[in-house]
Amino acid sequence: MLSSLLEEHKIIFDLCGQSMSDALTTMVEKSSEVDKATILAKVLEREKVMSTAPGKGIALPRVHMLDKTKSEVIIGISTHGIDAYGFDLVPIKIIMFFLFSPNDDHASILAESLQMLNDDTVRAELLQVRSAGELIERIRIWEEA
């Protein structure tokens, strides 16, 4: 379950930045990993190859790390939107940045996240919450439904 990977201190409200690169630079700082520059370079390279923004104002950037024991999820909420447009040309407002461990089923985690963020009601609710605890609780409620 996605909520089991969430930690309050890894949720950023009012994420700022003019580009996905700016946003991811801020987000990678919340990671528990030491070599943040390498992680940032990997995720930005992946974004160049293929955007992880499927539309509806969301992005799901990710990096796979062979030496990581547990996956991390860092969430960024931007009230104004990041100029890293998805396929529908809508600015990105919710970014779920995944640092995947080989020990976790990353395909299931991504599928669950995408299913949740494709729900217009859930997306609107996530944009309205103002505390990390409330955001995690909202995701838990969705998972249990």
d(CA 31, CA 43): 13
pLDDT attached to residue 86: 63
- Contacting residues for 71 by C-beta, under 8 A, at least 6 apart: 5, 98, 99, 100, 101, 103, 104, 106, 109
pLDDT attached to residue 126: 96
Q: What would the pLDDT profile of 117-139 be if each residue is shown by its tens digit?
A: 999 999 999 999 989 999 999 99
Determine the CATH number of domain 2-144. 3.40.930.10
For the chain, domain boundaries? 2-144
pLDDT attached to residue 87: 67
Question: Which residues in the chain come in under a pLDDT of 70?
Answer: 85-87
Sole residue written with tokens 């409330």: 134
Closest by alpha carbon to 77, among 115, 117, 126? Answer: 126
pLDDT attached to residue 58: 95
Amino acid (one-letter) located at 115? Q
